[in-house]
Amino acid sequence: MQKEEIVNRLTPVFRKVFSDNSLVVTDELSALDVENWDSLSHMLLISEVETEFAIKFKLKDLNKMANVGDMIEIIRSKFQ
C-alpha cells in the first residue's frame, strides 16, 4: 500500500477521533500537537485505525509509534 493512500485513509479517522475537520495528517504529527490527543482518545484512535485497515497492531508496534510517520510505516509493513 502506498503512503499516499494510507494518509488519505488516516485523515478522516484522525479528524473524527479528535473532532477537528481541519486536522492535517503529517509524518511529524504526534500527541504533543493535538489538544484532544490524550490517553482516552489514543485508545479510540488505535481502534479506529485498526478497523479502517483491518489490521491488529502488536504491542511493540504501538510502543514504537512516536508520531504519525511511525504509524504509517507500521501500517505499510502490514501490507508488504
Partner 1 sequence: MSEYLIRKAKPSDIPFLADVVIASEKAMSDRLSFTTLFNKPEEEVKQLIIQMFEEEVDGCELSLSSFIVTEFEGQPISGSGAWIEGFNGNMPSGILKSNLISYTFGKESIEYLKTKSHIVKDVMIDREPMTLQLEYFHIKNEHLGKGLDDLLMKRIEENALAEYPELKKVQCQIFKNSVFSIKILLRHGFRIVGSYKSDNDDIFDYLPFNVKLLMEKEF
Kindly list the residues in this chain that would bind partner 1 in the complex (CB under 8 A): 31, 38-44, 46-47, 50-51, 57-59, 62-63, 66
User: 24 or 44: whose CB is closer to partner 1?
Assistant: 44
Q: What is the smallest separation between the CB atom of 33 and partner 1, expressed in angstroms?
A: 13
User: 5 or 38: whose CB is closer to partner 1?
Assistant: 38
**Alpha helices by DSSP H, 1-80:** 3-17, 39-53, 59-62, 68-78
Positive or negative torsion for Cα 43, 45, 46, 48:
positive
